[in-house]
């Protein structure tokens, strides 16, 4: 990591004002039109919002901090040693999918997610409605293909996810690390959750919940899952595994419709990775990471650094 940061309070203030101000400004058409999440440009607006943390981080680094190595300050480098970097990329892809699936299992055991892990009745019913009552392939094969879609979706969404992660884990997390590991994890998670407020207050992610509860639930999810992303960032010394993890999380949330029981519904306040039952596995993983001191910052640099980065 890069050395000392100039004007830390000013840098943090500039970053937060830009990240939050731009997100609210971009989301303003959703509010002014009265269409909310049904606005015809919602997808474009949401994508543009994802870029605001990166823009805020870039302005903060190049205008306020002016470090000697800005790419390293943002976590864009190093990418070596290659084996270690690729291993954490693999974890960035696998861990979020495991957490998402674990949330379905936990929700099923606790009675808040009506699951069908063997017949995939809800998924089958949805596909038959889309195809006129005839499945092109056995339902088990179609379920397996959803995981292929998750991998492809993770790769395709890597750059949009980097738009957020360059800010949250690339710049903000190491900036807050001066206050200690646990405060950095908590504060960065709270900030990440609050940043979603322009959409959450319109019913995004938690359509059945009042706005205040939606924000609180998102803060809880972002703190726990964001801490797992932080682990990837710290141990790899790079923002790329965290960005891939973010992309994989976004790509795998839709799996909730694959395992749901036919004719059933569920509330995201209680079920999936968004709900409290889905936080159990991330909380256990986070506790293990803390106990085993996996958040030491910065991790020891490799002895061999005879390379470009």
Of 155 and 305, which is predicted with more confidence? 155
Domain range holding 266? Answer: 81-292
Q: Is residue 114 part of a domain?
A: yes
CA distance 89 to 210: 37
Mean predicted confidence (pLDDT) in 168-186 = 95
Residue 259 lies in a domain: yes
Is there a domain that residue 303 lies in?
Answer: no
Spatial separation of the C-alpha atoms in residues 170 and 204, rounded to whole Å: 25
Residue 140 to residue 137: CA distance in whole angstroms = 8
Cα separation of 295 and 290, whole Å? 7
pLDDT of residue 134: 87
Average pLDDT over residues 21-26: 98
Residues in the chain: 309
Residue 7: pLDDT over 90: no
Average pLDDT over residues 252-268: 96
Distance of CA 204 to the CA centre of its chain: 15
The model carries a pTM of: 0.93
pLDDT over 50 at 309, yes or no: no
**For the residues 294-301, what does the mean pLDDT come to?**
70
What does the pLDDT read at residue 44?
Answer: 97
Mean pLDDT for the stretch of residues 90-108: 98
52 part of a folded domain: no
Please indicate, yes or no, if residue 283 is contained in any of the structural domains.
yes
Domain count, the chain: 1
Predicted confidence at residue 30, as pLDDT, reads: 98
Cα torsion 208, 242, 235, 90: sign: positive
Predicted pLDDT of residue 204:
98
| Chain mean pLDDT for the chain | 93
Residue 302 has pLDDT above 70, yes or no: no
User: For residue 297, what pLDDT is reported?
Assistant: 67
Domain assignment present for residue 44? The answer is no
Percent of the chain with pLDDT over 70: 94
Q: Quick one: pLDDT at residue 50?
A: 98
Please report whether residue 97 resides in a domain: yes
For residue 70, give both structure tokens.
């800005």
Mean pLDDT of 282-292: 96
Domain-embedded: residue 248: yes
In order of 49, 248, 286, 292, the CA distances from 186 in angstroms are 22, 22, 12, 18
pLDDT, residue 299, reads: 58
């Amino acid at each position: 990591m890069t050395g000392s940061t100039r004007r830390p309070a000013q840098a943090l203030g500039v970053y937060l004002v830009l990240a939050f101000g731009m997100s609210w400004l971009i989301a303003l058409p959703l509010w002014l039109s009265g269409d909310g999440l049904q606005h015809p440009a919602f997808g474009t607006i949401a994508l543009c919002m994802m870029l605001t943390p990166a823009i805020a981080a870039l302005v903060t680094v190049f205008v306020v901090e002016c470090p000697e190595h800005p790419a390293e300050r943002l976590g864009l480098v190093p990418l070596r040693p290659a084996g270690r970097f690729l291993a954490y990329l693999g974890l960035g892809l696998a861990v979020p999918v495991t957490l998402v699936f674990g949330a379905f299992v936990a929700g099923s055991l606790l009675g808040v997610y009506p699951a069908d892990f063997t017949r995939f009745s809800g998924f089958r019913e949805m596909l038959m409605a889309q195809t006129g009552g005839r499945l092109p392939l056995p339902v088990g094969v179609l379920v397996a293909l959803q995981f292929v879609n998750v991998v492809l979706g993770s790769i395709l969404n890597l750059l949009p996810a980097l738009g957020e992660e360059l800010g949250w884990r690339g710049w903000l997390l190491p900036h807050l690390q001066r206050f200690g590991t646990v405060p950095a994890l908590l504060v960065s998670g709270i900030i990440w959750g609050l940043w979603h407020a322009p959409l959450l207050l319109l019913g995004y992610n938690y359509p059945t919940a009042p706005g205040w509860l939606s924000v609180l639930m998102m803060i809880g999810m972002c703190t726990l899952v964001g801490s797992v992303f932080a682990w990837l960032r710290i141990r790899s010394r790079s923002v790329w595994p965290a960005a891939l993890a973010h992309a994989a999380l976004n790509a795998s949330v839709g799996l909730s419709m694959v395992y749901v029981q036919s004719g059933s519904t569920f509330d995201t306040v209680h079920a999936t990775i968004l709900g409290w039952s889905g936080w159990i596995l991330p909380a256990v993983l986070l506790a293990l990471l803390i106990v085993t001191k996996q958040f030491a910052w910065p991790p020891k640099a490799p002895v061999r650094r005879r390379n470009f980065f």
